Amino acid sequence: MAICHCMERTIKLPFDLSPDDAPGLQYVLVDKDHTIYEQSSGSADIVNRTPLSLKHTMAAFSMTKTITAIAILQLTQKQKLNLDDRASQFIEHPYHQQISIRQLLNHTSGIPNPIPLKWVHLAEDHKNFNEQAALAQVLESNHENVTAPGEKYAYSNIGYWLLGMVIEAAAQQDYSEYVRKCIFQPLKLAPGDIDFAVAEDATRAKGYLAKYSLLNVAKYFVMDKAVWGKYEGNWLHVKDVYVNGPSFGGAIGSAKAFSRILQDLLSDQSVLLSRDTRHILYERQKTNLGKYIEMTLAWHVGILDGIEYFYKEGGGAGFHSEMRVYPSKGLASVVMTNRTSFNSRSHLSNFDKMFFNT
């Protein structure tokens, strides 16, 4: 059963692609002041026939990187750091010592990006998890630059993991606690809306992997077998996990919670960033030779029907998501699903275009 809430809109999105016996979708579209459209459909828990609501939370994975970038920019406002400071001024790392915080943010650091699917641990093991030891192991196995800093764009999860350590050093505070205090709480987002902890109540959606998929065939090669649960119809349940580095992919929330962050970035008076700092957040970045890349400090850059937008996608064990900002339209959108494989770019484009001329 689809759940839809609209403001003065008669458009009905085609959410029949998520029937009751399949993982669900959340879609939210906002402007700076209002939720224009929100809808959920499908299941949060297939075996128990629990409909996915707009309150259910899901792992956002790499959408977290935009939150990390906002935290870094807040620290520039507080004069705790500068974007062109060397990361080595704050933390120890094995890479080129001239790598700047800006280069970590815009993925021009030259730091490698091994497949991070195994960089997770079960929720039940989180109490005894040691993030510093996990990071040290990753750095030891991937300790050399692939390219020189600033030479070219090359995505790196390790780079954003290191940014979390930079935030902790500059703020003298745990990364997750800093984000809760300085990003979530000012927006009046409660832990039940978005957090870095797996919810222990019924508002946490279960993650799934399609039974008939290539990833299901190869699942034991890409992730530890302890992560895989039981089949529920045509879907394999993926057990709750924590990402080993919260700053590159650890946020867990609803599409509504992420839309609240986007609304603040669209607003006339952001509570998170000054007007000048928000401008910096969206500045197209360059290589050392002055060549523009399709990246700002936090966003990838796309074009839809001639309209420029900024986006961040996230995907991993059991979940997939994407959020966007369309500055010229004054709109932002989020789609989240509790299935591993999902073409968020195509679906979000189709959904958003329906509102461009309304």
Q: What is the per-residue pLDDT for 280?
A: 95
Establish if 242 belongs to a structural domain: yes
Judged against a pLDDT cut of 80, whether residue 44 lies above it is answered with yes
Q: What is the per-residue pLDDT for 5?
A: 53
Percent of the chain with pLDDT over 70: 94
Do residues 64 and 323 lie in contact, with contact meaning Cβ atoms separated by under 8 Å? no
Q: What is the dihedral of CA 25, 1, 17, 321, to 10 degrees?
A: 0
User: Cα 163 from chain centroid?
Assistant: 15
Which residue in the block uniquely carries the two structure tokens 């195509």? 346
Establish if 212 belongs to a structural domain: yes
Q: What is the per-residue pLDDT for 1?
A: 47
- How many domains in the chain? 1
Query: Sorting pLDDT into bands at 50, 70 and 90, what band is 14?
Result: low
Kindly state the average pLDDT of the residues 107-135: 94
Sheet of strand 35-41, all strands in order from the earlier edge strand to the far edge: 3-6, 35-41, 25-30, 331-337, 319-326, 307-316, 300-304
Establish if 159 belongs to a structural domain: yes
Kindly state the average pLDDT of the residues 200-229: 88
Residue closest to 205 by CA, chosen among 322, 307, 336, 298? 336
**CA 88 to each of CA 84, 92, 94, 137, 172: distance values in angstroms, whole numbers, following the listed order:** 11, 6, 9, 19, 16
pLDDT digits (tens, 9 = 90+) for 163-173: 999 999 999 99
Establish if 358 belongs to a structural domain: no
Q: Look up the CATH number of the domain holding residue 94.
A: 3.40.710.10
Query: Sorting pLDDT into bands at 50, 70 and 90, what band is 217?
Result: confident
Q: Please state the pTM of the whole predicted model.
A: 0.94
Positive or negative, the CA dihedral 249, 251, 254, 260 is negative
Q: What are phi and psi of 246, to 5 degrees?
A: -60, -30
Q: What is the per-residue pLDDT for 8?
A: 46
Range of the domain at 46: 3-353
pLDDT digits (tens, 9 = 90+) for 270-314: 999 999 999 999 999 999 999 999 999 989 999 999 999 999 999
Instruction: Fill in the DSSP letter of residue 16.
Output: G
